[in-house]
Structure 1
Amino acid sequence: MTYNRRKFLTFLGKAGIGAAVLPHAFLACNTATKNTKNNGTSAGGSFDFKGLEPSTDDELKLANGLRYRPIIKWNTPINDQDTFGYNNDFTCFLPLDSQNPKDGLLWVNHEYVNSLFVSGYDRHDKEQKRSIAQVDKEMYNVGGSIIRIQQNAAGHWNLVENDAFNRRITAKTPIEFNWDVPIKGAREAIGTLSNCSGGITPWNTFLSCEENYDNCFGETMYDQENVPSHMPSSYGWEQFYDYPPEHYGWVVEIEPLTGSAQKHVALGRFAHECCTLVSLKDKRVVAYSGDDKNDEHLYKFIASKPESLKEGTLYVASLEKGQWLALDWDKHPVLQQRFDNQTEVLIRAREAAKLLGATPLNRPEDIEIDPVTGAIFVSLTNNKKRGDYHGSILKIEEAGGRYDALRFTSSTYKAGGEETGFSCPDNLAFDQVGNLWMTSDMSGSAMNKPDNAYTNFKNNSLFVIPRYGDRAGEVIRVANAPSDAELTGPWFAPDGDTLFLSVQHPGEQTTDLTAPTSLWPFDNDGIPKSAVVAIQGPLLGYLRALPTKESNS
């Protein structure tokens, strides 16, 4: 069969494919299925819905009514030349044909590497000399993968081996800048890296976000006199390749069918966790993104032309004023005093945001749009220096329900801690009826240590907050991750009966390859591996079929 863009499914959104790209009026109408039967379980059924207790077990544990199967693991061949990358994070599925949502392309981010597993380089061994071959292997294992997957008659999702669409994008792939002037003297960057979460566009392309880019080639820092200096990276790649740090920290757009990519300068440069798009009636887009670092900021880009991620204005949030502040060099003398032009403002967006008085936040990570109310939900993971160990979920409501408004109100939707049962919220996803799914991101160095703030939460987990029914608004743990692992990238298949999920960095705290701290997914080689799994089962249908009784949101 021949595939082309017109055959891609046009129903988009993270509540079918992703809620954020649909206007609120359409989304509100899209919840009419909440009283239908799904997977043989109706709202009036007797399904025994129990959450999990926290666990330290080295396994992916699921609540009653859920089961999983791995789709792909690190180092699995995807074609004759390429293998699946390391530390898979964000996932995004697009069917190849609107008439067959069981066959499509899955984009998967590969955020970072553990060199001990990937290249054999032990960062703690001061006597070991590193080779360029080791660095090349590390660079290959980040970026992203496009893989074709299909659901068989038994309902299982499987990799289509050696399919023509299967491909890798790595830290070695040339990627053009979508901008009119060069960035540090170049029209293209070599590679993408630190790919954390992402998004999807109304024109059916993937968005992948470069988060902790300074780990790879460092960062350019400026003192009070505006004199630059280089901050070294933790990976030390700049010792082998002289790539400017300014070439990283962007939102990358990937064409699913060809793998061609571009970096969007207009969206600003910072530690992008995600890029969540809303399509307006005139086909302009609004793009929300958070800077995942302590005391950094929340941004949105408002396009001035239809379907453009280049023409428009980048704004940063002041929660105190309830206002979006334009990062516009032409309009702010304080920016003109510090920067030479608008391009420099975008490259140094963090500095520009602080000069305008943006609100420092506690690691703004994933951002999703509520498909029922249209509110914007932002996970604030934590900020230990400010005494916030457990984080919260921030709710933003744009003035008049208009995503291109410049005024908003903000409030805390849920705060982490012992009372709510979760800590360090990270990725968010809404299903078709507005149940909120959430993963946690407690660091491996802090988890399961005696007598600290995270002891009682044990392993990282997946939670659901039902929208309807007697337990509406309750935070319920439905999955526990293996040892050291983090659950990331939740994304629903079009019918809502499969949740794609990444199991990232099991065994991350390993210091000796002969004694890994995790063995998941229990391959015969004894090496822990990140993997993407498909979660299915009657619980998914049960939650979509609960009787309407909306929680306070």
Structure 2
Amino acid sequence: MNDLTETPFGYTDGDVDTNTSTEITLNELADRRLSRRQTLRGGSAIVAATLGASALAACDSNDGNESDNNAAPTVNAGAAITTSAGRLVTLSGDASDDKGVEALSWTQTAPTGTPVTLSNPTSKTPTFIAPAVAAATTFTFQLAAADAQGRTSTGVATVTVNPATLGFTAVPKNLLDVVSVPAGYTVQVINRVGDPIAANVPAYKNDGTDTNFAQRIGDQHDALQWFGLSSTGTRDANSSTRGLIVQNHENIVQENLHPAGTSFGGVRPEADALKEIEAHGVSITEVTEGANRTWTTVQGSSFNRRLTPNTPMVFNGPARGSDLLKTAYSPLGTSGRGTINNCANGVTPWGSALTCEENWAGYFRRFADGTRTAKELASLSRYGISDRANGNYGWSTVVPSDPADTRFRRWDARATGSSATTDFRNEPNQFGWVVEFDPYTPNSVPRKRTTLGRLGHEGAWPGRFQAGKKPAWYTGDDSGGEHLYKFVSATAWVEADANATDRLAMGDKYLDTGTLYVAKFNADGTGAWLPLVYGQNGIDSTYAAYPFADQADVLINARLAATVVGATPMDRPEWTAVNPQTGEVYLTLTNNGGRALANTDAANPRSYTDPRVDSARSSSGNANGHVIRLREDGDTTEATTFKWDIYLFGAGSDLDPANINVSGLTADQDFSSPDGLWFARNTNPSGQVKPLLWLQTDDGAYTDVTNCMMLAAIPGTVGDGGARTITNTAANGATAAQATRVGAAPTAATLKRFLVGPVGCEITGVDSTPDGRTLFVGIQHPDGHWPDSQATGTATARPRSATVVITKNDGGVVGL
């Protein structure tokens, strides 16, 4: 998120006439022969203000029974408490009096600069969430009590709050068919594949006969985001009990969508292909918290919506109208249909959502038919659109019932007509973009923002927004040897725009003009952002491998432009996340089997063999992946240079600590193939001071030992480690040294496993409510019997991707 969102634990004025220096006033009350009415209405500010109308009412009802010799109540504010940020704190006070205690009230008295919100402040045991602190901080709370005659006494409770720590016991690695979380947490399941999201859509039978995925939750859940709703159904960025979940649906598990024996090859039936197409895309659903913290999806909500590969969309930015975007559907190159292979995501401070099209190339049918130019072939090759008889799932083979229906023909990228406007040779160019849409306006038309470039987008996460500075979004390109990119807007940020109601107009303002950069990582721990601009640094019509025509061509073929300028090839760049306090950018590099001994570099330093214990098969290259991070010079998104190091190296805890398990991971910390990545929101203690980082895995190398997982971390900063030299070893025994930069080794206090998923799944997608007390996590493509197995560990139903809701049983902030 950005640093403009206010904390929900903010100060409320409350009773302003509160005298916190009460020694004289309260001691003298015992000696003054005044009636209760005179005491409360004429003299004691602390009683009148702190205890308020309840004490006055008691006074009015008992005027005739006064006893001037009655002693003030005895107050006990409880023992001193020590806790840490994000934990639920319960004050425990009491008061006694021979005439009875008429009223109690708690008031925070220190520190004045860090107010907390007390629940039920007139009860004996109010609670509050311990706020974020940079160092141990003492909080004091005064308990005031009044008896039936209006005499009062106070006591003081002391709470020492320490900086945030990971407040749970690490979950052991396991191969169970459940979502495992720490003791003290509860898991709920919502938004399963096929769940209906519109009124009158029947429940999902999960036997392959269900239809109408345009009004059901899609398949293969991926990145997700919470968008708050007010009680009246308007945008409320601080709401934690009612909101919208926007979730990507990356792909499908084809056999689970059909009855046994449904055709998967040859000419595909129209209904089968349509079901598969509609199960891709994005879902927007309203969810609410009810009694006992039970979360429910509102099936008939007017906000519920599906974006599928068939949803009409428009192109914005420099590539709009380019010849390379023209098709038989859009002869002007200004519109298109849908979004597909949606993996990671992004957000904007004005309340719109970004979804990102990742590895979409395989869906297209193409033959080497001799009709394409050398330039076209260079583009097709770099984007992985190789010769395929049918493309993924064979959608192009459908013979539609309506000959004018091109929803299936569009997946045939052959040049079959007389020009690009008579066929779909350019249809692959319509994918690989960042798509912006407004989740609060269901009838709005999504916009593909071409300024962010066309590639295998793995998210588009914003840097910190600073007034007067040009904002930026960071994105990985999920393929071996591809790059990290940054888009910098041409428009400086105006804080008032965060509250704009025309959210897509804000996207036009900040996302349609600007500069796309690609990263070069130097061996000395520095780096540079290289602009991808036509006419600069060799990006022009003279580049032999791909003669660029204009800036639209550069953005449509951003991968080729990145090669021209000398960007660093990375080990499958995936999710980006930005520390909301420091602005540091984290990037997961999932793995890279093609990272050979001869082509390691400082930013991608490992090449080794990772054996599996369940078979003779092993993984080579950078089998377990790593997480790299960078800090912009000057701490501004406008910077063109940065510093970097490697935050964590994925590895089994039993592997070589000098050259493979470089981070020194223990059994409570080890992981492989980092993928999903997200920093906690800065609206609650988990995202303040030293924010919590959530790290998810999509693994094949370590699944003989454990299912995929999610870890919680409290990272340091770039440069907190130092230089290191790794000795890499090839399968034939050859070795080579590689220098790199590493972060400080994690400790049990700064990294541990929070969750292990069910059999065969990927853990992907994570967000919380603004208060941090509810965490949403995506479970993708389980292949056991989950989620039906969640309750007992066993089941017989077909598995389904779903979203889990995780809450802490005591009501505290998740993870702390």
**TM-score under structure 1 normalisation?**
0.83
- Bigger CA drift: 83-92 or 150-159? 150-159
Partner Cα separation in structure 2 for residue 327 and residue 481 of structure 1? 40
* Contact 2:475 2:485 (8 Å CA) reproduced: yes
| Equivalent position of 1:514 in the other structure | none
Cα distance in 2 for partners of 1:466, 1:406 equals: 27
Aligned residue among 513, 518, 521 for 1:319: 521
| Structure 1 residues 392 and 540: alpha-carbon distance in aligned structure 2, compared to 1, 3 A threshold | farther
Deviation at 1:489, TM superposition (A): 0.7
Residue deviations 1:242-301 (CA, integer Å, cap 9, x gap): 251111110011111223311111100111110101323126421110001111000000
Deviation at 1:91, TM superposition (A): 0.9
1:167-192 deviation line (CA, Å, top 9, x unaligned): 11101101101134245212112110
State, as a whole percentage, how many aligned pairs show the same letter. Answer: 30
Which of 213, 226, 231 aligns to 1:93? It is 226
Q: Secondary structure at the match of 1:308?
A: helix
Residue number in structure 1 paired with 2:321? 181
Please state how far the C-alpha of 1:93 moved relative to its aligned partner: 0.7
Q: How does 1:399-478 map to 2 (within 5 A)?
A: 399-419=633-653, 420=665, 421-431=670-680, 432-433=687-688, 434-443=691-700, 448=703, 455-456=704-705, 458-466=706-714, 471=747, 474-478=750-754
CA distance in 2, matches of 1:125, 1:319: 44
1:22 maps onto 2:7 in alignment: no
Deviation at 1:160, TM superposition (A): 1.1
Q: CA 1:539 to 1:501, structure 2 compared with 1: closer, same or farther past 3 Å?
A: farther
Rate the CA distance shift 1:488–1:122 in 2: closer, same or farther, 3 A: farther
Aligned to 2:770: 494
1:540: how far off?
8.4
User: Which residue does the alignment assign to 2:330?
Assistant: none
Q: Within 1, Cα distance between the matches of 2:551 and 2:482?
A: 20
Unaligned runs of 5+ in 2: 12-82, 91-128, 131-160, 202-214, 231-235, 327-332, 398-407, 411-423, 493-508, 596-620, 654-664, 681-686, 717-745
In structure 1, the partner of 2:558 is 349
CA-CA distance at 1:202 after TM superposition: 1.3
Aligned letter for 2:395? W
Whether the aligned pair in 2 keeps the contact of 1:466 and 1:543 (CA below 8 Å) is no
- The whole-number CA distance in structure 1 between the counterparts of 2:259 and 2:762 is 23
One-letter amino acid matched to 2:298: V
Please say if residues 31 and 372 of structure 1, whose CA atoms lie closer than 8 Å, have aligned partners that are also in contact.
no
Cα shift at 1:162: 0.6
2:166–2:815 contact (8 Å) kept in structure 1:
no
Tell me whether 1:241 sits opposite 2:404 in the alignment: no
**Paired position in structure 2 for 1:135:** 273
* Cα distance per residue 1:353-377 (max 9 Å; x no partner): 1111100001111111112322111
User: Which of 439, 460, 465 pairs up with 1:275?
Assistant: 460
TM-aligned CA distance change 1:48 to 1:250, over 3 Å: closer
Q: Corresponding residue for 2:568?
A: 359
Amino acid at match of 1:335: D
RMSD, aligned α-carbons: 3.2
Are the equivalent residues in 1 in contact too, given 2:456–2:478 (CA < 8 A)? yes
Shift of 1:125: 6.5
Query: Which amino acid in 2 is paired with 1:312?
Result: G
Secondary structure of the corresponding residue to residue 383 of structure 1: coil
Report if aligned partners of 2:774, 2:814 keep a CA contact under 8 Å in 1: no
TM-score, structure 2 normalization: 0.58
Residue 61 to residue 543, structure 1, CA distance change in 2 (3 Å)? closer
1:520 pairs, out of 783, 787, 793, with: 787
Q: Which of the pair has the greater relative contact order for Cα pairs under 8 Å at 6+ separation?
A: 1
Task: Provide the residue aligned with 1:38 in structure 2.
Answer: 88
Matches of 2:695 and 2:308, distance apart in 1: 28
The aligned counterpart of 2:808 is 537
Matching residue of 1:380: 589
Question: 2:519 and 2:228 mapped to 1: Cα distance?
Answer: 35
Report if aligned partners of 2:679, 2:694 keep a CA contact under 8 Å in 1: yes
CA contact (8 A) 1:484 1:518 kept: no
Larger gyration radius, structure 1 or structure 2: 2
The runs of 5 or more residues in structure 1 that have no matched partner are 1-12, 14-20, 449-454, 508-516, 546-553
The CA deviation string for residues 130-178 of structure 1, in whole angstroms up to 9 with x for no partner, is 2222211111001111101111132222111211111111011011011
1:215 and 2:378 aligned: no
1:519, distance to aligned residue in structure 2 (A): 4.0
| Residue aligned with 1:423, SS | coil
Distance, in Å, in 1 between the alignment partners of 2:439 and 2:594 is: 41
Indicate which of 375, 394, 397 corresponds to 1:226.
375
How far residue 385 of structure 1 moved from its aligned partner, in angstroms, is 1.8
Are the counterparts in 1 of residues 198 and 216 from structure 2 also a CA contact under 8 Å?
A: yes
Matched, 1:503 2:779: yes
Q: Report how far residue 333 of structure 1 moved.
A: 3.3
Q: In the TM superposition, what is the alpha-carbon distance from 1:38 to its structure 2 partner?
A: 2.7
Count of aligned pairs between the two proteins: 504
- Deviation per residue, 1:496-536 (Å, 9 max, x gap): 001100111011xxxxxxxxx43433498711011111111
Whole-angstrom distance in 2 between the partners of 1:542 and 1:312: 38
SS at match of 1:362: coil
